[in-house]
Structure 1
Amino acid sequence: MPKVLYDTICTFTELMYFVFHGNSYADGAEAYQMEVWIRHIDGSRFKSDAERQKVIQFS
């Protein structure tokens, strides 16, 4: 689970987003769900539908 979390945060950083809140739900060694709330580095939300789709496709 820590590697998946680390990789997710690094990828969002490369896409110029920062994670301002996140939750992960796990049972033992198996992760069931991970939620992250992100914003663009400049503080804005998605600037276009194409950008939204790019982030959705990543996750």
Structure 2
Amino acid sequence: MFKIIPMMLIAIGVYIGMQYDDEIIDLFGQNTIDQIEEAVEDSKDDILDKLKDINE
């Protein structure tokens, strides 16, 4: 039961994000979206590096 609730919240968030994608870009501007995407990519790379270090 408690594992389902966070997945439902994530799914709702993704759905809302897809519905209002254009409005979000208009609100923040494309430059901000690019910065957010870049930060997400950097953090993904950092997490992968840390996982590789743990495995070694």
Q: TM-score, normalised by structure 2?
A: 0.29
Q: Which has the larger radius of gyration?
A: 2
Higher relative contact order (CA 8 A, sep 6+): 1
Bigger fraction of residues in helix: 2
